Chain A
């Protein structure tokens, strides 16, 4: 699975949109982009995933560039409860998935009042 690069930390004002970038320049055609977050010391929680089209669910939106080399997770109206570490990973979907799944350091998002 391809590696990802994320900024170590970001701040966001409460109520504003939080835009978290991720670089995955070596992504291959059968790899999806997944986002997880970890609040305090809990187990990471799945947020969203996508292949090449923009995706939206009740938690967030995922914007993937046309060349698929980078993506942005958008939390439209950040709250204090969104303060967490956010991980971007890429993963082969379906056959060919070796199972080895590496997490990076993630981005620590601090939402401020």
Chain B
């Protein structure tokens, strides 16, 4: 049982490049989340999803897009990366009535 798996774990981008972070969960959870965490800061919600085919904006959605085509996967896209998007990205999943399970994080650097 892998839980929540994020790929890639590390990535370096140049300004303007695009990329996609993949989050996969094998617990059949309905809810999935993408957070970012900057040094010394708490978690900030980027986007979330309450079910397959649905997505919603969180606290800091600008510059990101998401898709939830399959229940087990939640993709976070950066269309044109900026240095301000340098951060650690965490994915999480849960049932509506349960606790969150987090991935190990994806460390993104934008030069």
Contact = CB atoms under 8 A, between A and B. Distances in A.
Given A34-B99, A99-B49, A100-B58, A43 B104 contact: yes
A102 interface: yes
Interface stretch (B12-20, B37-45, B73-81): B37-45
A42 B105 contact: yes
Contact of B50 (A36, A45, A85, A99): A99
A15 interface: no
A34 B102 CA distance: 14
A104 interface: yes
Contacts, number: 62
Interface of B: 4, 31, 33, 35, 37, 41-45, 48-50, 56, 58-59, 88, 90, 92, 96-97, 99-105
B39 to A, nearest CB: 9
Interface in A74-113: 85, 87, 93-95, 97-106
A36 B104 contact: no
Contacts of A98: 50
A68 interface: no
Contacts of B49: 99
Nearest to B43: A103
A108 B99 CA distance: 21
B42 A99 contact: no
